[in-house]
Amino acid sequence: MPAITDPTLHRAPTDMIACPDPACAAEARIVDRWTFESTNGPVEQVKTGCERGHWFTPTVDSLGLQPVPAKASPSLASVS
Ligand SMILES: [Zn+2]
């Protein structure tokens, strides 16, 4: 059985954000994230699903998230 080892597909820690739907105040879970090349350079995009069943694929830039956390934030640190 061949092992599926794609170095470009690594699991990121689960992030919770506010649902991109402005009419929805629920938290949304980032279930997937990837980067694609645009004319202006690489753009990181995520797939989010909130508890109310809203699914979005916004860009990280539109969410105001940092693609790579530059500093530790206790409030955003994943608790496992
Ligand atoms: Zn929602």
Indicate the domain borders of the chain: 15-63
Question: What is the Å distance from ligand 1's center to 23 Cα?
Answer: 8
**10, pLDDT greater than 70:** no
Q: Would the pTM of this model clear 0.85, i.e. be above it?
A: no
64 Rama sector, left if φ>0, alpha if ψ -120 to 50, beta otherwise = left
pLDDT attached to residue 37: 93
Is the pLDDT at 38 greater than 70? The verdict is: yes
| Amino acid (1-letter code) at residue 45 | Q
- Ligand 1 centroid, distance to 29 Cα (angstroms): 10
Cα 1 to the chain's mean position, in Å? 31
Q: Using alpha carbons only, what angle is made at residue 63 by residues 57 and 64, rounded to the nearest 5 degrees?
A: 150
Query: What backbone phi and psi angles, to 5 degrees, belong to 53?
Result: 90, 15
Question: What does the alpha-carbon distance between residue 33 and residue 35 come to, in Å, rounded to a whole number?
Answer: 7
Tell me, in angstroms, the distance from the centre of ligand 1 to residue 18's CA.
Answer: 8
Output 41 or 74, whichever has higher pLDDT. 41
